[in-house]
Amino acid sequence: MCETAKAQPQDLLTWYDRHARDLPWRVGPAARQAGVIPDPYHVWLSEIMLQQTTVAAVKSYFETFTSRWPRVQDLAASDDADVMAAWAGLGYYARARNLLKCARQVTQDLGGVFPSDVAGLQKLPGIGPYTSAAIAAIAFDQPATVVDGNVERVMARLHGVQTPLPDAKPELTALAAGLSPDTRPGDYAQAVMDLGATICTPRKPACGLCPWRAPCVARQEGNPERLPAKRRKAPKPIRYGVVFIGRNAAGDWLLERRPEKGLLGGMLGWPGSDWTEGTAPAANAPCDGSWQVLEGEVRHTFTHFHLRLSLKVGEVHSAPEGAEMVPAALFDPKSLPTVMRKAHALAADWFTS
């Protein structure tokens, strides 16, 4: 295994100064060195959005949020349903609920000012070890070890770590900490992530362009793609359910808001059954209507399971308790979570035929 000292943070920073990604929430290295200060609200918002989501998917959401709610105080004062609708499609809806809780706590308790240190940031809703380190480093240039999937991959290859993930996380974090400099910690944190995202990629890494190619153990051994090693995952179970998509004679849609806790918490969706493994559960219609089974099914994958939903469609007269009829003019399927949008797409033709 190579000595950590052979990989120099300054080599990576020099590379970053030339090749940093242009991202809507980022203050680039040239602007930063000219004295432009990152907006902590933008850094926090982007980091929450980027959890379990790709940069490409987040860009348009970030621009929508910052245009509609340009300050954390604006987000704190917004209506919950508006924020959840704007978040639809990003998934992991607990993040959106914590986003609002955090914005309101920062606004009400901290005067709209985010803490600048890891310990203070971790006291806020939805901010854990990774996110607190990222905000402290990127927004406030505080020395902090930022370790995401890209950084884990870079460290595993650079040091030839054979321990599979997730068992290797503590070792990879310690190796990352050993390289993190006190000079330009914010730029360095983003540089390592950029290196993993653009050069040290999971497949076909561009080792010849890497500023750390000389000390990299995985490159020396000739097979960098095999690292980081990962434990074999158990197959995801399949759950089944039924949803009911109804409209009245005026074209209004029958929708309900899901409970705050649990998957898709607080989001509008179609009434339906629980989601269970094995076979689709028995499902009682939410109200009287001319219900009939629609051919086909919705398939969607969550983090821990696959979901298959059968659909029943029909004309209804009124909404039962706990549901609502949303006027056709106000209904926007893009405000629904992805799995519910898939159900709408499958059912829409039936209502227009």
User: CA 75, 79, 84: angle at the middle one, nearest 5?
Assistant: 85
pLDDT value of position 1? 42
Q: How far apart are CA 260 and CA 33, in angstroms?
A: 44
pLDDT value of position 90? 86
Q: Is the pLDDT of residue 182 over 70?
A: yes
Assigned superfamily of 238-352: Nucleoside Triphosphate Pyrophosphohydrolase (3.90.79.10)
Q: Is the pLDDT of residue 59 over 60?
A: yes
State the pLDDT confidence band at 2, using cuts at 50, 70 and 90.
Answer: very low
User: Residue 256 catalytic?
Assistant: no
Q: Are 32 and 38 in contact (CB under 8 A)?
A: yes
**β 306-315/238-247 pair status:** parallel
**Residue 217, class by beta-carbon neighbours within 10 Å (0-12 exposed, 13-18 middle, 19+ buried)?**
middle
Which part of the chain has CATH 1.10.340.30?
4-226
Q: How far apart are CA 217 and CA 265, in angstroms?
A: 45
First-to-last C-alpha distance (Å) of the chain? 67
Share the mean pLDDT of the chain: 93
pLDDT value of position 196? 97
Q: Is the pLDDT of residue 92 over 80?
A: no
Q: Is the pLDDT of residue 238 over 50?
A: yes
pLDDT value of position 278? 85
The residue annotated as part of the active site, out of 3, 47, 277, 297, is 47
Which part of the chain has CATH 3.90.79.10?
238-352
Cβ neighbours for 122, distance < 8 A, ≥ 6 positions apart: 128, 129, 132
More confident residue, 73 or 233: 73
pLDDT value of position 232? 87
Over residues 313-341, mean pLDDT: 91
Q: How far apart are CA 86 and CA 267, in angstroms?
A: 11
18 forms beta bridges with none
pTM over 0.85: no
Q: Is the pLDDT of residue 78 over 80?
A: yes
pLDDT value of position 261? 78
Q: Is the pLDDT of residue 349 over 90?
A: no
Q: What is the pLDDT of residues 125-171, one digit of tens each?
A: 999 999 999 999 999 999 999 999 999 999 999 999 999 999 999 99
Q: How far apart are CA 99 and CA 167, in angstroms?
A: 29
State the pLDDT confidence band at 52, using cuts at 50, 70 and 90.
Answer: confident
Over residues 99-105, mean pLDDT: 97
State the pLDDT confidence band at 348, using cuts at 50, 70 and 90.
Answer: confident
Please report how the helices 40-50 and 129-140 are oriented relative to each other, as an axis angle in degrees rounded to 10: 150
Q: Look at domain 4-226 and name its CATH class.
A: mainly alpha
State the pLDDT confidence band at 306, using cuts at 50, 70 and 90.
Answer: very high
Q: Is the pLDDT of residue 292 over 60?
A: yes
Q: How far apart are CA 325 and CA 248, in angstroms?
A: 8
Letter for the amino acid at 255?
L
Least confident range of 80-84, 262-266, 322-326: 262-266
